Amino acid sequence: MKKHSTQSSKPSKKHSDFTRSTLQILGIFVVWALYRILFHFPEWVDEGIAKALVFGIPVWLYCRSHRRGEDRLGLSNKHFWPGMFLGLLIGGLYQFLAITVLITKGGVVASNSVLNSPMFGYIFFLALLTAWWETLFFFGYVLNVFYDAVGKREIPAVFAALCIFLLFHAPLRFIESGFSLIAWQHLALLGVFAVGQAILYFRSKSVYAVTISHAMWGLMLLVYAV
């Protein structure tokens, strides 16, 4: 009887952990949504300060509450250089795909105007800031929280992280484009991107790889407008 009771309590605990984790992350979403609605600061404030507080604090608390939390998130030194090189490799693949899509559409590859712009350094810096905080939050904190909550199963964790990722990004898309076909296409593209980033994190165990590939993705969309 005791053995049966112990076994039956495990699903209940997992369900409780999943519910608690979901509520915590939804609470963070409410804070972020209120910030975006109530305040309209320059983009560098949103990406460098607001996200550092709203996204960075949960990551810091997660690291403090778990043994070797930095290693669990892929922040240890041993993950740095392998992650950087892998991120650049994935970023190069994104660029190749962007050029291929552009040529297929009959476009002309002319990225020099953006790359030579005096604002390019600032844009690249913002891309890195965005990639850093979103990677830490969505693919470090959220993905690991759900991975623990669902019993170390990757597929349910990736699906849960995907839902949270889209939840945070969908409102802005709908505000900018309404409920148009373009908005849904952008969300579908973001969904594919998020799944790919989650898989990259699980395979590399490095937030550095995911951060660099994220930044390269953003630059690809800007430079090639695909």
Sequence length of the chain is 226
Per-position b or e across 150-187, b if 16+ CB within 10 A of its CB: beeeeeebbebbbbbbeebbeeebeeeeeeeeebeebb
CA quadruple 67, 72, 73, 74: dihedral, nearest 10: 120
Each residue's pLDDT tens digit, 94-121 = 888 877 877 777 666 655 566 677 778 8
Each residue's pLDDT tens digit, 14-72 = 667 678 888 999 999 999 999 998 998 999 999 999 999 999 999 998 888 887 778 88
pTM to 2 decimal places: 0.85
Each residue's pLDDT tens digit, 118-145 = 778 888 899 999 999 999 999 999 999 9
